[in-house]
Chain A
Amino acid sequence: MDVRLEAEQTLRDLGVDAEIVEVGCIGPCYLEPLLDIKLPGKPRVSYSNQDPRRTRFLLEKVFQGGEWPERDLVGHFGEEGAMNGMPRFHDHPMLKPQVRLVLRNCGVIDPTDLDHYLARDGYRALERALAGKPEDVLETVKASGLRGRGGAGFPTWMKWNFCRQAGDGQKYMICNADEGDPGAFMNRSLIEGDPHAVLEGLVLAAYTIGASQAYIYIRAEYPLAIQRLEEAIGQMREIGVLGENILGSGFSLDITIKEGAGAFVCGEETALIASIEGKRGMPSSRPPFPAQSGLHGRPTIINNVETLGTLPNIIRNGAEWYTRYGVDTSRGTKTFALAGKVRRTGLIEVPLGTKLRTIIEEIGGGTQKPFKAVQTGGPSGGCLSAEFLDTPITYENLAQAGSIMGSGGLIVLDEDTCVVDLAKYFLRFTQSESCGKCVPCRVGTRHLYNILDRITCGEGEPDDIRKLETLGEVIRGASLCGLGQTAPNPVLSTLKYFRNEYLAHVQEKRCPAAVCRDLVIYRVIPGKCTGCQSCVRVCPTGAITGPRSEPHNIDEEKCIKCRACYEICRFDAIAGDAIVITS
């Protein structure tokens, strides 16, 4: 926001008449804030890492000097009036291997301007669908091979077909935008960057299954996304693609936004429905499936944001076009939120079948410290070690490796990450998000967490690893809903691929990554410490003492292991050491 204000002020000072447009996320978040400049007859040029000072400098250069500074330049878009020597934006190493279908408008159009969406063939798919029959849409989606992008990968057409076969009468269509997965932000970015694509998909889906009422269930934590949806829904009514008798087809639909209230389990279909009905978001056993008996006991389809966002592309371009992307039973593209210890973080989209190595090394630019693992699928997923880097990403391959596609969070881990600590982290999450209805999940996850907690405190017992495995299998097999059924995945997958780390914690009481707080100690390396007192000043607990110009000392008792000293030391004189508890 500071950059925007500075840009406005600078342009006023320079007397330049320009339109300032806010766009959604274009992907390379690690370069943010980005500022693009588009002059008549020239291509759009993108600059990264802006701050008010840099922005003023840049705008003065461009508008006063007619120069395009090289500093912070990312590249230009498209071919129009290509400028000598300037790289293309999409040749950036993070973008080049990507195929952006569902994200095609994100960061390119003004998400608040319906004309921008229409200019990019918006609502053409809806026009085409309404000119034919709902069966035609179903057939196209079937031929495209589209599978649900929320995680489980169930064939979209099949789910719809169950609902169609559930007879006539009131039906409901729901867009699941709850995205409670820590480490995932694809849905938020898509809605913020291209709300109409998701809404057009929602109307298409409602038309196909014969629903006259649709809901968008979205996290209250995403206020901008909610605002964008509200604006877009208003615009839809104005041009007649929502409401009574849409585009004169006789089909009518209303969309209501329901804000989620912060419960991870509400991503589960039956829990989400309970939440819309004003109850605690607790799952119920299936069958009956929501496609037969869902919201208010009526047939209901719930699709993920990305599934819906993909639909307009498929209907507009045809199934054959879509099947060109992806492999075998995993067709099309998938968005991923790339984060963690990778150099280039952000929102990406690649064809299914792309290797993990391509994503982590080419798109993500690799890790600074040696690569250790990648966590896919959030709390329901697993950690994959380096041996999987050349595995093509498909629903089947990930499941076989003990993980899942999930909604698409990819957290890269390097040698500074402790996988036991990470497994404990996920268990704490699922344990606190368990709705409590079924015992295997409520009690089982708590036990898993307690065992992991003991292990990371250096109090592991020889039998603990076997207990984790047995308990994990029981919870997986006996839980009522997906939350419990997948909760042990982070533990089981790390036990499979990183057993040695568990053994180090249990047998030697040692954390090899020096992460687990009870198994790490911070100390000053006397030979390197210059006595500059920086660490003394930042230590929040006064644990560091020592006279100026002499090596300091850290009082173990007072240290809360916040790493503030480690971060500020310019002489690498603070070490975080793995310790062995001997007593």
Chain B
Amino acid sequence: MPAEAALKILSESSGRRGDLIPLLQRVQEIDGYISPETIRTISKRLRISENEVYGVATFYAQFRFRPPGEHSIQVCMGTACHVRGGEQLSAFIQHRLGIGPGQTTPDNKFDLELVACLGCCALSPVVKIDDKIYSQMSVLKLRDVLDEYENAG
């Protein structure tokens, strides 16, 4: 169920079509994902069909439709990261967490996303965990960072 805060944002919107994407963004900020209830509420509020709301939401990479894990990991797949070993980081992290891109670990601890470019190309390769950017990563450094998150309980 969407949080009350999210419902409040929806009820305060002007009801214009152009508000659709900003609304989805605000709700995701609060709930962490776009739930079926959110789609239904927005559909009513903006008088656009649920199919269309879903169609717009799925078009953009930013929106997710499953609850996120406790920590969100983004592995940058930008060009600079790619030529400096981003693929290996991605292979390692998928093996270590046992999940693929777009999935959350069974214990809900981590979710994993491969992203197009975080815009930190000069410090490549980079991995972002929650709001923190880890730059010039290697498989070894990444292992240590993940250990820290896991040991932190």
Contacts and interface: CB of A to CB of B under 8 A. Distances in A.
Contacts of A219: 119
- Give the contact-size bracket for chain A: 35 or more
B35 to A, nearest CB: 17
Given A264-B116, A280-B59, A560-B92, A375 B18 contact: no
Given A220-B62, A411-B79, A180 B117 contact: yes
Contact of B119 (A184, A281, A568): A184
A562 B95 contact: yes
B92 A185 contact: no
B61 interface: yes
Contact of A263 (B18, B61, B121, B123): B61
Nearest to A412: B83
Contact of B80 (A278, A340, A560, A563): A340
Interface in B35-73: 55-56, 59-63
A325 interface: no
A259 B22 contact: yes
Given A182-B77, A413-B83, A567-B138, A259 B123 contact: no
A307 B53 CA distance: 34
14 contacts: A182-B80, A185-B121, A221-B119, A258-B22, A259-B21, A261-B24, A261-B63, A263-B61, A339-B122, A375-B79, A422-B83, A538-B140, A564-B88, A567-B140
Given A262-B60, A564-B139, A30 B122 contact: yes
Nearest to A179: B119
Contacts of B109: none
Nearest to B46: A278
Nearest to A25: B122
Given A340-B84, A564-B139, A222 B119 contact: yes
Given A281-B60, A413-B83, A561-B88, A182 B116 contact: yes
Given A259-B22, A280-B59, A567-B140, A541 B119 contact: no
A473 interface: no
B126 to A, nearest CB: 11
A264 B77 CA distance: 14
A378 B143 CA distance: 30
A283 interface: no
Interface stretch (A97-105, A232-240, A341-349): A341-349
A185 B118 CA distance: 9
B100 interface: no
B94 to A, nearest CB: 9
Interface in B79-104: 79-80, 82-85, 87-88, 91-92, 95-96
A255 B91 CA distance: 43
Nearest to A180: B116
B61 A411 contact: no
B18 A278 contact: yes
Contact of B92 (A181, A264, A562): A562
B37 to A, nearest CB: 20
A512 interface: no
Given A183-B78, A261-B60, A517-B87, 15 more contacts: A30-B123, A184-B121, A185-B119, A219-B119, A263-B59, A277-B17, A277-B18, A278-B20, A280-B56, A340-B124, A345-B123, A378-B79, A435-B59, A540-B139, A560-B95
Nearest to B59: A280
Contacts of A347: 122
B60 A32 contact: no
Given A417-B83, A422-B82, A540 B119 contact: no
A401 interface: no
Contacts of A275: 21
A409 interface: yes
Interface string B114-139: 01111111111000000000000011
Contact of B21 (A278, A339, A562, A563): A278
Instruction: Give the 7 A-B residue pairs with the shortest CB-CB distance, closest first.
Output: A262-B61, A29-B122, A261-B60, A182-B117, A182-B78, A339-B80, A278-B20
A429 interface: yes
Contact of A540 (B16, B83, B87, B95): B95
Contacts of B143: 538, 540, 564
Nearest to A490: B79
B9 to A, nearest CB: 15
Contacts of B95: 540-541, 560, 562
A108 interface: no
Given A183-B79, A378-B79, A560 B91 contact: yes
Interface residues of B, number: 44
A337 B55 CA distance: 34
B59 A221 contact: no
B60 A425 contact: no
B105 interface: no
Contacts of B77: 182, 429
A400 to B, nearest CB: 23
B25 A259 contact: yes
Q: Looking at A29, A346, A426, which has the most chain B CB atoms within 10 Å of its CB?
A: A29
B116 A540 contact: no
Interface string A280-292: 1100000000000
A561 B19 CA distance: 46
Contacts of B16: 278
B80 A562 contact: no
Q: Looking at B62, B80, B87, B95, which has the most chain A CB atoms within 10 Å of its CB?
A: B80
B33 to A, nearest CB: 14
Given A341-B84, A538-B143, A567-B139, A562 B91 contact: yes
A341 B83 contact: yes
Contacts of B87: 517
A422 B86 CA distance: 12
A106 interface: no
A76 B120 CA distance: 26
Q: Looking at B22, B62, B79, B85, which has the most chain A CB atoms within 10 Å of its CB?
A: B79
A375 B61 CA distance: 25
Q: Looking at A261, A338, A561, A568, which has the most chain B CB atoms within 10 Å of its CB?
A: A261
B116 A429 contact: yes
Nearest to A219: B119
Given A261-B60, A560-B91, A183 B25 contact: no
B77 to A, nearest CB: 7
A425 B123 CA distance: 19
B96 to A, nearest CB: 6
A376 to B, nearest CB: 11
Given A411-B80, A540-B96, A339 B116 contact: no
